[in-house]
Amino acid sequence: MKNLTEFRIKDKIHELRNTRVILDFDIAELYEVPTKVLNQAVRRNMERFPEDFMFQLSEEEWQILRSQIVTSSWGGKRYLPYAFTEYGVAMLSGVLRSDTAIRMNIVIVRAFIALRKMALEHQDLKTKILDLEKQCNIKFNNLEHALEYLIIEKEQAEEQKNRKRIGFKNSASELINKQTIDDTY
């Protein structure tokens, strides 16, 4: 049950303004209270929710996020939703005093922490991948230089073979040389 709930919560956490947030209607669903009741409780205690705890989405942010979220057929929300950061979620437990809200608050905070741990693990993987990419680029550059060198060397050998010979020539030695060259091919 706990893992299922944490899994559901992780799906409800979004990245906005370079911060992980959960929207008011998702919190209300998890706390089993109407969104209107949640927002009224927050409005009564606005001093507990500074900008880094909670903010209202802009129209543009909502339109982008809305394409990722299933909204109702009657047109969705009539107002721009509030987004709660991890700190805002922690503060909500003091505003909404129901047992369900307190239990869900603990689960939500754990989900935020799990996502932070995953992000750190992904950062380690990203660093390793970038290191491997750098090593591969160096090896490919070395290989490219080696191939260029071989191509130039082959072209120079071809030019050397086809160059006009200088020095004393007699017709008999030219015929022998030409015949020897033709026999080898």
Within a domain: 185: no
Within a domain: 45: yes
- Comparing CA positions, the residue from 10, 12, 27, 23 lying closest to residue 119 is 10
- pLDDT mean over 23-43: 87
Q: What is the largest CA-CA distance in the chain?
A: 113
Within a domain: 156: no
Give per-residue pLDDT as tens, 108-161: 777 777 777 877 777 777 788 888 888 888 888 888 889 999 999 998 888 888
- pLDDT mean over 9-27: 84
Tell me the residue type at 87.
Answer: Y
Within a domain: 132: no
Task: State the pairing for strand pair 54-56/19-23.
Answer: unpaired
Give per-residue pLDDT as tens, 41-90: 888 888 888 888 899 888 888 888 877 765 554 455 678 889 998 888 88
What predicted TM-score, i.e. pTM, was given to this entire model? Answer: 0.53
pLDDT higher than 60, residue 1: no
Within a domain: 104: yes
Name the domain count of the chain.
1
Query: CA 27, CA 4: separation in Å to the nearest integer?
Result: 16
Within a domain: 23: yes
Q: What is the reported pLDDT for 73?
A: 45
Mean pLDDT of the chain: 78
- pLDDT mean over 36-44: 88
pLDDT higher than 80, residue 37: yes
Tell me the residue type at 120.
Answer: L
Q: What is the reported pLDDT for 173?
A: 59
Is the Cβ–Cβ distance between 86 and 114 less than 8 Å?
no
Question: Residue 172's pLDDT band (boundaries 50, 70, 90)?
Answer: low
HEC letters along the chain: CHHHHHHHHHHHEEEECCEEEEEHHHHHHHHCCCHHHHHHHHHHCHHHCCCCCEEECCHHHHHHHHCCCCCCCCCCCCCCCEEECHHHHHHHHHHCCCHHHHHHHHHHHHHHHHHHHHHHHHHHHHHHHHHHHHHHHHHHHHHHHHHHHHHHHHHHHHHHHHCCCCCCCCHHHHHHHHHHHHHHC
Q: What is the reported pLDDT for 89?
A: 83
Within a domain: 166: no
Within a domain: 38: yes
pLDDT higher than 70, residue 170: no
Domain range enclosing 41: 2-119
